[in-house]
Amino acid sequence: MGQADRLSAAREALAAAEAAASASGLRPAGAKAGADGTDSGASGAGRAAATHPGASGSGAATSEPDPHDVARRIVLRQLAMGPRTRRQLADKLRERDCDPQVAARVLDRMTTVGLVDDEAFAEMWVRSRQETKGLAASALRHELRTKGIAEHLIDEALAEIEPEQEKEQARALVARRRRTMGGLDREVQTRRLAGFLARKGYAPGVAYQVIREAVDDLPEHARD
């Protein structure tokens, strides 16, 4: 299954899970989603019940929310805001004090139905960050590592980036940036462009080759 098909299937599964959660009462009427993607009414009540089991005042035992349902709700709220890696979701569940075994089971299930797909996430991230930020492979690798993507999936996502493609991308970045450097001497332009490409993850050899080509083409630097 291609990336587009996987993401489409994941979106459909998310919509179905959301509908099922609402129909089963996991999202009580009037409850508002908190900043972390949980339902403040349900989760707050659950925490209060867990902390003060006799807080109802009537002496009757209060039922606690099913931890699996709570974890699923947290994950669904996170995914509704945008794609997440498994580790990002695991970190969020840990922040919400979910039991590690419960978190693992919920994430395993989400992975099985395609809602959590680190491979698709890595492919999408590489394409998006290349198009919007012009990042080189080394910068993309660093970002994917920080999001918990496995190394072999990073390798696969970056495998289609050809050296010449990356060099052309660097040329386009330099061409745009140097338009803002009119009147600066060659040394200043070279230094600023080198720093700019370094922040994008380009290797020094590629950066200086592209910069040299660009600066040499400037009319003011072609004069004797």
* Domain ranges across the chain: 119-158, 163-222
pLDDT, one tens digit per residue, over 113-132 is: 999 999 999 999 999 999 99
Distance between CA atoms of 162 and 166, rounded to whole angstroms? 6
pLDDT at residue 30 in the model? 36
Global confidence as pTM:
0.69
Q: Which residues pair with 33 in a beta bridge?
A: 39
Backbone angles phi, psi at 214, to 5 degrees: -70, -45
* Contact criterion met (CB below 8 Å) for 41 and 33: no
**Stronger pLDDT, 63 or 17, i.e. the higher one:** 63
From CA 44, how far away is CA 208, in angstroms rounded?
56
Give 13-26 pLDDT, tens digit per residue.
555 555 554 544 44
